[in-house]
Structure 1
Amino acid sequence: MAGTAPGAITVALVDDYDVVVVGVATMLEPYRDRVVVAELDTNEPVKDVVDIALYDSFAQPESDHHEVKTLIDNPHARRVVMYTANFHPDLVAMAQDLGVDGYLSKALNARELVEALESVHAGERVISTPPSKTFANSGDWPGRSEGLTHRESEILALITQGKSNAEVVALTYLKPNTVKSYIRGLYRKIDVESRTQAVLWGVRHGFLPDHRRIDHWRGGP
């Protein structure tokens, strides 16, 4: 990681969607003297040790935590932080039981995120207050330019991956009727009338994962 500012925290961003990773990296860019994103070669296993692996929960299997455990067990990540909009008490408790060093809200602005990462790096366990506001200016996600909210986009991404409503409920910890309501809303926004049409729209608009970044942390290609 040549060119890293002296004393800057190195952070690896873990999410399967390039637009999400780039969005977080863009948020952090003005604070490059304090936090530097470690670029991971998508064709090579992780070799450099990073200060923090930041696991972005967008359309990721956050609820089973197998991927988070992979990061925690990998010596190339000194600390592991969840970056999420989902503060269901069971998810927060499971993450803490696994031993994450931080559970940070996507409602944090860039400065607050950097400060939280610095606190984690200093040895604190940081758990954000459950968000009471939206985070329209935080990061990026597929479908944002088409007017989809973060949650609508996440559900569409899961649907595009072939998940059933029941699987979406299990992964997001939302109630079944809430998931159905989000689906109806996103159908209106993308002007489709069926699940098949929604999946086709999702495939055309970047809702399939670009990479399996967690595979690097398992030592694979």
Structure 2
Amino acid sequence: MPPKPPIRVALVNDYEVVVAGLMHMFTNYSERVEVVKLIANREVRERVDIALYDSFGQNQTETEAVERVLRNPLVKRTVIYTWNFEPSRINQAAHDGVSGYLSKTLPASELVRALEQVHTGELVVSPAPQGTSPTGGNWPGREEGLSYREGEAIALITQGLSNAEIASMLYLSPNSVKSYIRSAYRKIGVTRRSQAVGWGMRHGFAADFVRLDPDDTSA
């Protein structure tokens, strides 16, 4: 019997460094997963078995973003790869028609196994993450010492979101968002929001559309 062909997986995110980090996770599993490399901010343009949607730094509701992937006729199944495991969010994703909801704490071997289960038609929801940072992959600001949450906060600030909008997007309390922003500011050496936006623009945090926030106050 000939070996099964690898699952064709598209990695979907607006940040090239995130896509590259995910590709690196699959390096040792090329016989099981064939990664279709995407350029940031592009739609999937060739037929794939699974689109793995990474939610890092998205400045719209997850439903809106995922619906675009679900409507793509070239994508057979869609999986959300995320840090946010609010029950309402998981239920909404299942209602929207996703085939998996996977944690960023999964090591590469378990992530590949989960994608194989999705490929066979299973709905796979991994356990909620217990740690404080993803197991693998990459994100903007990591090389500057920013944690995943700090990097995501700076990404959304760079795109012009307010603290309240960031809290809503990330399902965090306003106080938690302020804490992440303050610690990020200390690490990157800024004290004001406009300085953080400028830093983000220079360090790969700019997405396709940037809306500058006129409120130039500290976190």
Tell me the TM-score normalised to structure 1 length.
Answer: 0.88
Farther-moved stretch of structure 1 (41-50 vs 66-75)? 41-50
Could you report, residue by residue, the CA deviation over 1:132-167 in whole angstroms, capped at 9, with x for unpaired residues?
Answer: 123454100010011111111011000001111111
**Aligned CA distance change for structure 1 residues 56 and 166 (closer, same or farther; 3 Å):** same
**Aligned CA distance change for structure 1 residues 139 and 166 (closer, same or farther; 3 Å):** same
**Aligned CA distance change for structure 1 residues 19 and 176 (closer, same or farther; 3 Å):** same
**Unmatched 5+ stretches in structure 1:** 212-221
Given that residues 78 and 98 in structure 2 are in contact (C-alpha distance below 8 angstroms), is that contact kept between their aligned partners in structure 1? Answer: yes
Given that residues 9 and 48 in structure 2 are in contact (C-alpha distance below 8 angstroms), is that contact kept between their aligned partners in structure 1? Answer: yes
**Aligned CA distance change for structure 1 residues 182 and 53 (closer, same or farther; 3 Å):** same
**Which residue in the other structure is 1:143 paired with?**
141
Please say if 1:159 is aligned against 2:163: no
Distance in 1, matches of 2:43 and 2:118, equals 25
**Aligned CA distance change for structure 1 residues 57 and 24 (closer, same or farther; 3 Å):** same
Distance in 2, matches of 1:62 and 1:195, equals 20
**Which residue in the other structure is 2:68 paired with?**
70
Distance in 2, matches of 1:9 and 1:136, equals 23
**Unmatched 5+ stretches in structure 2:** 210-219
The one-letter amino acid of 1:65's match is T
* TM-fit CA distance, 1:6: 5.3
Count of residues in Structure 1 that have an aligned counterpart in Structure 2? 207
Could you report, residue by residue, the CA deviation over 1:115-141 in whole angstroms, capped at 9, with x for unpaired residues?
Answer: 000010011100010011234541000
Distance in 2, matches of 1:44 and 1:103, equals 22
* TM-fit CA distance, 1:41: 5.9
Distance in 1, matches of 2:41 and 2:207, equals 16
The one of the two structures with greater contact order (alpha-carbon pairs below 8 A, sep at least 6) is 1
**Aligned CA distance change for structure 1 residues 21 and 171 (closer, same or farther; 3 Å):** same
Distance in 2, matches of 1:110 and 1:73, equals 28
Same amino acid, percent of matched pairs:
53
Return the match for 2:180 from 179, 182, 187.
182
Distance in 1, matches of 2:28 and 2:148, equals 23
Return the match for 2:102 from 83, 104, 107.
104
Tell me the TM-score normalised to structure 2 length.
Answer: 0.88
The one-letter amino acid of 1:21's match is V
Residues 180-219 of structure 1 aligned to structure 2 (within 5 Å): 180-209=178-207
* TM-fit CA distance, 1:62: 6.2
**Which residue in the other structure is 1:32 paired with?**
30
**Which residue in the other structure is 1:22 paired with?**
20
